[in-house]
Amino acid sequence: MLQLLLLAVAAATTLGEDLPPSCSKPVYCDSDLLHYVQTARIFPDSKTFVDRHMLQDPEEILEEFKQLLNKTKNPTKEQLQEFVETHFDSEGELENWTPHDFTENPIFLEGIRDEELRQFAKDIHNIWPTLGREIKPLVFEKPERFSFIPMPNGFIIPGGRFKEIYYWDSYWIIEGLLIGGMKETAKGMIENLISLLRKLGHIPNGSRWYYQERSQPPLLSAMMSLYIRESGDIGFLRDNIDALQDELNYWLDSQIVTFDKGDATHTLLRYYALSKGPRPESYSEDYNGGLTYKLDDRKQEFYIDLKSAAESGWDFSSRWFVDNNGNNTGNLTNIHTKDIIPVDLNAIFANALQNMAYFEGLLNKQRRGSHWAYLAQQWRSNIEAVFWDEEDGVWYDYDMVRGKHRKYFYPSNVSPLWMGAVNKHLVKKHSARVLGYLQKSHGLDFPGGIPSSLIRSGEQWDFPNAWPPLVSIVVNALEALGTEEGKKVAFDVAQTWVRACHKGFGENKQMFEKYDAEVPGKFGGGGEYVVQTGFGWSNGCVLEFLAKYGRRMTAHDDSSYSSPDDIESKENEYTIDTKSQ
201/220 same-domain check: yes
222/180 same-domain check: yes
Burial of 254 (0-12, 13-18, 19+ CB in 10 A): middle
131/78 same-domain check: no
**Strand partners for 267:** 258
CB 3 within 8 A of CB 11: no
Compute the average pLDDT of residues 157-182: 97
Q: How confident is the model at residue 15 (pLDDT cuts 50, 70, 90)?
A: low
466/515 same-domain check: yes
What is the pLDDT, as a whole number, of residue 442?
96
555/466 same-domain check: yes
Q: Percentage of residues in the chain with pLDDT exceeding 70?
A: 93
Looking at the structure of the chain, the number of domains it has is 3
116/233 same-domain check: yes
Q: Which of 539, 530, 499, 500 is nearest to 517 (CA)?
A: 500
For the stretch 96-139, pLDDT in tens is 999 999 999 999 999 999 999 999 999 999 999 999 999 999 99
576/474 same-domain check: yes
- Per the domain annotation, does 242 fall within a domain? yes
- Per the domain annotation, does 209 fall within a domain? yes
- Per the domain annotation, does 489 fall within a domain? yes
For the stretch 345-372, pLDDT in tens is 999 999 999 999 999 999 999 999 999 9
**Calpha distance 280→19 (Å, rounded):** 15
Final residue in a domain of this structure, among 43, 66, 97 = 97
- Per the domain annotation, does 433 fall within a domain? no
Q: Count other C-beta atoms under 10 Å from residue 11's C-beta.
A: 16
pLDDT at position 560 over 50: no
For the stretch 47-56, pLDDT in tens is 999 999 999 9
pLDDT at position 10 over 80: no
Angle (CA) 227 211 92, round 5°: 85
Q: What is the overall mean pLDDT for the chain?
A: 93
- Per the domain annotation, does 362 fall within a domain? no
CB 360 within 8 A of CB 366: yes
71/125 same-domain check: no
92/162 same-domain check: no
**Calpha distance 213→270 (Å, rounded):** 15
Q: Count other C-beta atoms under 10 Å from residue 246's C-beta.
A: 17
For the stretch 296-329, pLDDT in tens is 999 999 999 999 999 999 999 999 999 999 999 9
**What CA–CA distances, in Å, run from 82 to 77, 78, 481?**
9, 6, 60
What is the pLDDT, as a whole number, of residue 558?
57
For the stretch 432-459, pLDDT in tens is 999 999 999 999 999 999 999 999 999 9
93/163 same-domain check: no
3-state secondary structure 409-427: CCHHHHHHHHCCCCCHHHH
171/64 same-domain check: no
Name the pairing type of β-strands 576-577 and 132-135: unpaired
**Which letter does DSSP use for residue 162 in this model?**
B
What is the pLDDT, as a whole number, of residue 13?
39
Compute the average pLDDT of residues 523-529: 89
Domain of 76?
A: 31-97
**Calpha distance 301→298 (Å, rounded):** 5
Compute the average pLDDT of residues 253-282: 97
- Choose the weakest-confidence range: 65-74, 196-205, 491-500, 570-579: 570-579
- Per the domain annotation, does 548 fall within a domain? yes
> What's the longest Cα–Cα distance across the chain?
74
Final residue in a domain of this structure, among 97, 125, 145 = 97
What is the pLDDT, as a whole number, of residue 17?
60
Tell me which of 567 and 110 has the higher pLDDT: 110
Global pTM reads: 0.94
Q: Which amino acids are annotated catalytic?
A: 315, 513
Final residue in a domain of this structure, among 75, 97, 119 = 97
Q: Which of 293, 289, 297 is nearest to 316 (CA)?
A: 289
- Per the domain annotation, does 170 fall within a domain? yes
CB 537 within 8 A of CB 169: yes
**Calpha distance 324→422 (Å, rounded):** 33
- Per the domain annotation, does 61 fall within a domain? yes
For the stretch 199-245, pLDDT in tens is 999 999 999 999 999 999 999 999 999 999 999 999 999 999 999 99
Q: How confident is the model at residue 527 (pLDDT cuts 50, 70, 90)?
A: confident
**Strand partners for 404:** 399
**What CA–CA distances, in Å, run from 506 to 21, 300, 521?**
45, 46, 9
40/145 same-domain check: no
Q: How confident is the model at residue 481 (pLDDT cuts 50, 70, 90)?
A: very high
Q: To the nearest 10°, report the CA torsion of 301, 47, 154, 204.
A: -10
